Amino acid sequence: MKAVEANFDGLVGPTHNYAGLSYGNVASKSNANAVSNPKQAALQGLDKMKALADMGMMQGILAPQERPDIYALRRLGFSGTDAQVMQKAYQQSPHIFLACCSASSMWTANAATVSPSADTADSRVHFTPANLTNKFHRSIEPEVTGNILKAIFNNEAHFAHHKHLPDNDHFGDEGAANHTRFCEQYNDAGVEFFVYGKHAFDDSQATPQKYPARQTIEASQAIARLHQLDPAKTVYAQQHPDVIDAGVFHNDVIAVGNRNVLFYHQDAFLHTANVKEQIKRAYDLNSENPFHFIEVKREQVSVQEAVNTYLFNTQLISLPSGEMVIIAPMECQQSDPVRGYLEALISQDTPIKDVRYFDVKQSMQNGGGPACLRLRVVLSDAEQQAVNAACLTNEEKFTQLQQWINKHYRDRLHADDLIDPQLLNESRTALDELTQLLGLGSVYPFQK
């Protein structure tokens, strides 16, 4: 029975804006206050989805969240009508207000950690929404993320849904952005690779000095337990604290893996030789297939250049032909060292045979590249049949979504525009229509 890896991309929400909310994420901070274009952002994301679908990949859609989050604002003591809640929050605590307006759920690599059924003891696909505790604006996502995932993967025989981990920094969990899986074929039992930034309960371990480590080993271990993973096929690695301090706020900004390939920077991990040993040991348990560690040296591409161009926030996908392709942001093409590196890479003796560049600049300016925009879900034939088909793409769905975006989205948004109660109405109207398009039922608080 063949399994495929589907990509579920986040649709960019109608309030996409640049608020500088993510300390430690260089792009988010440096574009704070810029004017955004939500319509263009959503269309750029949709174009990438369509291109992958046209390559023969299974492509799904994850709906955005309702913003501004009036419910979070009410919880924080702002009262009155929805418009008054927004007005008071904006006047009294503009930072809190802006955080409650973020369209950050678009980066669905942070939506959840997903373990395919081939890796889990009960042979079901397991999902745990990420609690995203490190940033307030992201910590308000997991409840609705869970609702959306349950509405898409709505079949208990095949899919197990867990609640997000306790909302505390000790269990800070950023989902699939710090998780990769290696396997020969997607339906084989794979090696699940968890990368963390710090130990929460052990002060003696190395930690970054400047920027926060968002993911803890304790969170990664809890996910592995919940997902009933085989300890012999589970590998944990610490991200190098120095690269976190250089702006690598998730592992997917410095490494990406697929099947028998780990593509990473020389400075990505704290104990690289040991990490490689562990992966080899775990991988060899189920395969004779060679494993490719593709390590990018500092002299080839500096950490700084990798952060600026998102060389590693690329999607490493296997086309139906078996050929591996890198889906890169156009910032990689515009950088001489990175383009040069990629051109050389695809002519070498590795499974990676091609690179394709995409314009996702609206997302990039907030620190989200192609890999941030997608959640990978490996699905067997039977599981594919059990997925809510309305959330999978086809020509008709693309046309409908394009029309939906063009009808509802603004093409210019500044932080000051977020206070407009009309924007809340527009967003709710758009999301209500979207839930029908995607057959989601009522997943948003305003629909309950």
List the x/- string, 131-160, binding to ligand SUG by CB under 6 A. Answer: ----x--x----------------------
Of 66, 173, 252, 331, the one binding ligand SUG (CB under 6 A) is: 252
Under rule CB under 6 A, residue 217 binds ligand SUG: no
Nearest to 325 by CA among 40, 27, 48, 42: 48
Under rule CB under 6 A, residue 241 binds ligand SUG: no
Region from 4-12, 100-108, 220-228, 406-414 binding ligand SUG, contact rule CB under 6 A: 100-108
What are 88's two structure tokens? 């008071």
Per residue, the 3-state secondary structure of 219-256, as one string, reads HHHHHHHHCCECHHHEEEEEECHHHHHCCCCCHHHCEE
Residue 288 has a CB neighbour count (10 Å cut-off) of: 6
Under rule CB under 6 A, residue 265 binds ligand SUG: no
Rounded least distance, CB 310 to ligand SUG, Å? 9
Of 126, 181, 227, 250, the one binding ligand SUG (CB under 6 A) is: 250
CB 442 within 8 A of CB 435: yes
What are 86's two structure tokens? 């927004």
Tokens 């139906």 belong to residue = 320
Under rule CB under 6 A, residue 107 binds ligand SUG: yes
CB 235 within 8 A of CB 192: yes
Bridge partners (DSSP) listed for residue 5:
378
Of 19, 144, 279, 282, the one binding ligand SUG (CB under 6 A) is: 19
Under rule CB under 6 A, residue 366 binds ligand SUG: yes
Under rule CB under 6 A, residue 102 binds ligand SUG: yes
CB 257 within 8 A of CB 193: yes
What are 335's two structure tokens? 């950088």
What are 168's two structure tokens? 């505390």
CA dist 73 and 253 (Å) reads 31
Under rule CB under 6 A, residue 25 binds ligand SUG: yes
Under rule CB under 6 A, residue 180 binds ligand SUG: no
Instruction: Please indicate whether residue 396 is annotated as part of the active site.
Output: no
Rounded least distance, CB 174 to ligand SUG, Å? 7
Under rule CB under 6 A, residue 22 binds ligand SUG: yes
Catalytically active residues are: 174, 250, 372
Residues engaged in binding ligand SUG (CB under 6 A): 18-22, 25, 28, 102, 104, 107, 109-110, 135, 138, 177, 250, 252-253, 366-368, 372
